[in-house]
Amino acid sequence: MTYNLHDATVPLLLPGLKTLLNLLSKAEAYAAEKSIDGASILEWKIADNVDMLPFWFQYFIATDSAMKIVSRVQGTEPLAWGKEFAGLGDLRKRVEEAVAVVEAADPKTFEARTDALVPLGLGFGKGEMQIRARDYVVAYGMPNFFFHIQTAYCILRAKGVELGKNDYLSPFMGPFVEAHQKQQQQQ
């Protein structure tokens, strides 16, 4: 069995999106426990610096990255998602929409388009370049996806939400741990 671009992306994107859902559950519980408006969490930042972007933005970019990885590799037009979030429920809805896009990714199209040229934006007002799909995924798409998940995690930690490494990793490790435990029980 060969390892292809689909194998290198979808099995990482889905648990990454589930991590975002885990973080939302923790944020919602924290808001309820501390009697704070969950919507205020949307504007939390690691620091108040101008270039530090808020919690909602981390979700916007992480979900946008997942969707764009799939659309760019498959040669389809990315969805035009808005940036309006009124509360944590809106972030949850966005993650669920991204999960649906990633789950629909076609392995055969991924394999056929590994070397296809796809656009990579170079930043606001800086244009774009063409890059092979596999290079887009490895050099930009996946690192950007994980960066924004980790930043969302760090924002919550910085604001006092009790999070541990397992809150981040359990969607990735969980299926393997469960399979191992099941195997141990059968012996």
What is the per-residue pLDDT across 52-79, written as a single tens digit (0 to 9) for each?
899 999 999 999 999 999 999 999 998 8
Q: Tell me the pTM.
A: 0.92
Q: Whats the size of the chain, residue-wise?
A: 187
Per-residue confidence (pLDDT) for residue 122, from 0 to 100? 86
CB contact set of 21 (below 8 Å; sequence gap of 6+): 92, 95
Which range has the worst mean pLDDT, 65-69, 100-104, 109-113, 176-180? 176-180
Domain extent, residue 15, equals 5-186
Number of domains the chain contains? 1
What amino acid occupies position 100? A
* Distance separating alpha carbons of residues 152 and 143, to the nearest angstrom: 14
Count Cα neighbours of 40 within 13 Å in the Cβ-side half-sphere: 8
Per-residue confidence (pLDDT) for residue 1, from 0 to 100? 61
- C-alpha distances in angstroms, 67 versus 14, 97, 169? 11, 9, 21
Which CATH number do you get for residue 90? 1.20.120.450
Per-residue confidence (pLDDT) for residue 87, from 0 to 100? 93
